Structures are given as C-alpha cells and as structure tokens.
Amino acid sequence: MKLSKLISSTILVVLFSCKTTDNANSVHQTKPKNVILLIGDGTGLSQISSAFFFKETNPNYARFKHIGLIKTSSSIEDVTDSAASGTAFASGVKTYNGAIGVAVDSTEVPTLVEIASPKNINSGVISTSSIVHATPASFYAHALRRGYYEEIAADLSVSDIDFFAGGGTKFFNKRKDERDLLNEMSAKNFKIDTTALGSFDTIKNNDKVGYLFGSEHMPSIDKGRGDYLPRATELGIKFLNKDKANFFLMVEGSQVDWGGHANDADYLISELIDFDEAIGKALDFAKEDGNTLVIVTADHETGGFTLASTTRKNEKGEEYSDYTQVSGTFSTKGHSATLIPVFAYGPGAEAFSGVYENNEIYHKILKVTGWK
C-alpha cells in the first residue's frame, strides 16, 4: 500500500469512528435537527405494494427499517377525511371530518409550523393539489370547514411558512373580497412565482418563496405534471436548509387519493410512483445530512384498493383467478378505515415503530426533536 493511500485510509478510519461514536461531537445526533413528513393522500398498504409490482426501479419505500401502523379514525367518524387526519398530524388532536386546525369544540389548535417557527425553525409545505386543500392547509391554517379556501389562503399569506409549492392561484387573486394576496405576500419579502420552479440559485437570496401553478389543482402525472413533486421536494429542502437552520417540511402526494376515488388504478399507481420519487429525494438528503428524520405515512386509504389476482375466463366461459398477474381492484369510491403504515428513517426513527393513533405522530415528532 502506498503511503498516501495509507494516510487517506487512516483518515477515513478516524472519520468513520467519529461518525459512529455517540458523543456530543458526533455527526449523527440522536435528536433530529430537521423533520420531513411525507403524506401520500389515500395511500394504504396495497397502494404502496403497487410500487413493488409496477415501478421499474426499486421503490424508495424499501429503504426504511423502522415501520409502524396508525389508526386513522377521526373524533366522530370511523372513516376519516384528509382534514381531520391532517389536523391530527399537524396539531396532535382528533377532530371532526372537515376541520382544519380546530378541535372538536371549534377552538383553534396550534400547528407544528406555529410551534416550530418561534424557535427559528424554517417550515415548508408542498402538494400536487391546490395549496389550500385540506392536507397542506392543516399545517398553517384554522378553519371550521375545509371548503373555506379563501380564508385558508388568507391564513397562508400571514403564516410563518417559508417555502410552499402547489396549485390554486384563484384563491389568492380572484377572491370575493377582491384582495390580491399574491401582491400582499410579494410586498412582505415573499418571492412569488406562478410560472415554473426555479433553480436554487434563483431563490437562495430570498427570505421566503412561494410557487403557485394553475388556477386550482395541478395536473395529474398522466396530464403532464412531469417531475414537479420530486423537484419541488429537492428544492424545498435546499431552500429551508440554506442557512443551516433547523426545518420542518411537509410534502404531499395529493392525487393518489384521487386515483382511488376515481377507481382508476393507472391514475393511482402513476401518482404513487411519483410520490415514491419524492420520498427518494428526502431520503437522499437525510442520508447525506445525518440529522434529518424522514417520516412517510398517509392520512387514510382510498378506494379499498387491492392487488387482486386477475379474473379471466376459461374456454367454457367460467371465471377463474389467474395468479400469474395482479390487477388493481377497488371496493369503494370513498375512503376506508384500514390501518395505515408509517415509515421512518434517521435520528428518532425508532419512536415510530408500533401500533398507535394517527395524532401520536405529532407528539412523537415534538418528543424526538425537543421542539415543544
């Protein structure tokens, strides 16, 4: 072995032993500095399983070692909607279907973003739906009903969110009250872009950045959304991490749910594979960073989706189950109450194993980060 090679391998050994020791100087902390929560709306175990049959590359879901299950019922209903379950994640309470950031008694409950922000923790939300839709809204808004989109947009404009990307310009600039929230936000050190995701260089000197594409929701993958979600995830992480501040980022794969409601397996699976790409971006960053906790879960399952054996007919016209090929089939046009998987990676990930209620995710995040 050459001397230079010997020296460099000695340095490597020293570096690695520093990395694995569990002292205060260690690169890998037991307390995460950043949290990335990815929510696949309507994504149950069969939706996730579809990536293992239909994605051409190895699914990013396969990269997790800490896995749990959550019970998703809302305070009143066995079957939750995205508002009650978003509020459970964001504020730690079980509430009624349709509630955004309010408890059963209609009082406002603080969100993770509101709790983190006074501690100088940057925050962001990303979705493929309108940014005022139930899931992202639960993290920054308070509304008695999820359909109060213009109120929710007004809440976003004065929230502590530092980075957002999604659809829904009309709720900001074509409003009943005739306010133009895009102008209002631009006047308050927000860089608003309604044309395209920029490069990191074009936004790095801005205080806050918001991307809004399209009047309401973003198009599906099938209708040309492209790699928006993984790219927005990568950009959002870079932006929130730019001054090495702590950050919290919520990323939603919104339209897996809509494929389920439409009982359209191709729609569902293409959205799930896109969401899996966003998970990959979060995991790549967390692996490199060492101080980031990544949690992937869903608000509920949609469609009663399953990967059934394909039904075929023999020469006599009798139906049989062909076990050589799976087909996506559905049992409802709505949501279901099945337990939902939780995947966690990074410091604090062990806390997310087990079987527990969906609002425990919030309490676990605050506990492992020490943000409360």
Q: Rounded to whole angstroms, how far apart are CA atoms 325 and 85? A: 34
Angstrom CA distances, 208 to 135, 180, 256, stand at 21, 18, 29
Exactly one of 34, 82, 128, 359 binds Mg ion (CB under 5 A); which one?
A: 82
Using rule CB under 5 A, residue 271 touches Zn ion:
no
What x/- string results for residues 331 through 370 when contact with Mg ion is judged by CB under 5 A? ----------------------------------------
Taking CB within 5 to 8 Å according to partner kind, which of Mg ion, Zn ion, none is near residue 359? Answer: none
Label residues 289-302 b or e (16+ Cβ within 10 Å = b): beebbbbbbbbbbb
Question: Contacts with Mg ion in 21-50 (CB under 5 A)?
Answer: 41
Q: Which is nearer to Zn ion, 257 or 274 (CB)?
A: 257
Taking CB within 5 to 8 Å according to partner kind, which of Zn ion, Mg ion, none is near residue 254? Answer: Mg ion
Question: Contacts with Zn ion in 162-201 (CB under 5 A)?
Answer: none
Q: Which is nearer to Zn ion, 147 or 354 (CB)?
A: 147
Using rule CB under 5 A, residue 257 touches Zn ion:
yes
Using rule CB under 5 A, residue 97 touches Mg ion:
no
Of 363, 346, 345, give the one whose Cα is nearest residue 29.
346
Q: Which is nearer to Zn ion, 257 or 264 (CB)?
A: 257
Taking CB within 5 to 8 Å according to partner kind, which of Mg ion, Zn ion, none is near residue 220? Answer: none
Which of 61-69, 114-122, 241-249, 255-263 is the region at the interface with Zn ion (rule: CB under 5 A)?
255-263
Using rule CB under 5 A, residue 252 touches Zn ion:
no
Residues binding Mg ion: what is the number (CB under 5 A)? 4
Taking CB within 5 to 8 Å according to partner kind, which of Mg ion, Zn ion, none is near residue 135? Answer: Mg ion
Exactly one of 87, 111, 130, 254 binds Mg ion (CB under 5 A); which one?
A: 254
Q: What residue type is 119 in one-letter code?
A: K
Using rule CB under 5 A, residue 135 touches Mg ion:
yes
Using rule CB under 5 A, residue 81 touches Mg ion:
no
Residues binding Zn ion: what is the number (CB under 5 A)? 1
Residues that bind Mg ion (CB under 5 A): 41, 82, 135, 254
Residues that bind Zn ion (CB under 5 A): 257
